[in-house]
Amino acid sequence: MAMSCGCDEFRWRRMLNRRRLFTAAGGLAVVGVSSRAGRSARAQDASPVAGDGRVLIVDALTAQGPVVNDSYISPLVEIYGDVAVGRRCFVASNTILFAGEGTLVSLGDENNCQDNVYLLGEETDLVFGDMVSIAHQAVIEDSVVGDFTFFGFRSRTRNCEVGEGSMIMHNTTVEGVVIPPNRITPMGVVITEQADADALPEVTEANDEFKRDVQSVNLAFVEGYTAL
């Protein structure tokens, strides 16, 4: 059965079950979470960035643990260039955060990136607001993203401005457009014309409740993993 957002309810139920297991266990055991040199170590050392409380993750081979600015970054994440992170973020394994020369990738507070996500600031900065949820295998490039937004499984977003509260749904591609605030795309469409972006329907209260549920699950992950 599909959820109100069109998601596979069983996938999200598995996430909720993981949360219950963490709570029941009393202490968390995580396979593969360790301080290692190499690609994982780039996520470990941090220095302050002036401004909004985000911290720049220094591209240095250190091994001080996967917690940066009260956020959890899996040791299996690859980080290249200047990448900043806000507080209480969760970045899952096999995700790539890539900032090209002279660009910045910047995560806001309470952002969550699931496995196999690509966040790329190749030609311009890639900047996220707060409370952004990015589902498995999503790719986001050279864009500005507002608060409380959602990116679905295998979605592709390039050279866009995504307004606050909006949802880019599963298998959808958006490129070179401004998504107005509080809009939702269909699943599996390609949007490259501004007229199509402007015509998108508004999110519903059920959509917003879904986003709040996803946020709650991932904040629990942050609390559990950073306590290790």
- Give dist(CA 168, CA 151) in Å, integer: 5
pLDDT tens-digit readout, 71-114: 999 989 999 999 999 999 999 999 999 999 999 999 999 999 99
Q: Would you say residue 24 has pLDDT above 60?
A: no
Task: Give me the sign of the Cα torsion angle 151, 158, 203, 148.
Answer: positive
Q: What is the pLDDT of residue 65?
A: 58
Q: Would you say residue 31 has pLDDT above 80?
A: no
As given in the structure block, the two tokens for residue 45 are: 């050392």
- Give dist(CA 208, CA 166) in Å, integer: 9
Q: In what order do the strands lie in the sheet with 71-73?
A: 67-68, 71-73, 90-91, 112-113, 133-134, 150-151, 167-168
- Give dist(CA 72, CA 85) in Å, integer: 10
pLDDT tens-digit readout, 203-225: 999 999 999 999 999 999 999 99
Residue among 171, 165, 147 at smallest CA distance from 203: 165
Q: What is the pLDDT of residue 71?
A: 92
Q: What is the pLDDT of residue 63?
A: 39
As given in the structure block, the two tokens for residue 158 are: 């390039």
**Domain assignments of the chain as residue spans, ordered by start:** 9-226
Q: Scan for tokens 């960035």, then name that residue.
A: 49
Q: What is the pLDDT of residue 164?
A: 98
- Give dist(CA 2, CA 18) in Å, integer: 20
The b/e string for 50-75 (b: 16+ C-beta within 10 A; e otherwise) is eeeebbbbbeeeeeebbbbbbbbbbb
pLDDT tens-digit readout, 169-192: 999 999 999 999 999 999 999 999
pTM score > 0.85 for this model?
no
Q: What is the pLDDT averaged over residues 11-23? A: 40
pLDDT tens-digit readout, 125-184: 999 999 999 999 999 999 999 999 999 999 999 999 999 999 999 999 999 999 999 999
Q: What is the pLDDT of residue 64?
A: 45
CATH superfamily entry for domain 9-226: Hexapeptide repeat proteins (2.160.10.10)
Q: What is the pLDDT averaged over residues 25-29? A: 29
pLDDT tens-digit readout, 53-77: 788 876 432 434 588 889 999 989 9
Residue among 228, 10, 6, 214 at smallest CA distance from 111: 214
Q: What is the pLDDT of residue 52?
A: 72
- Give dist(CA 135, CA 112) in Å, integer: 8
Q: What is the pLDDT averaged over residues 14-33? A: 34
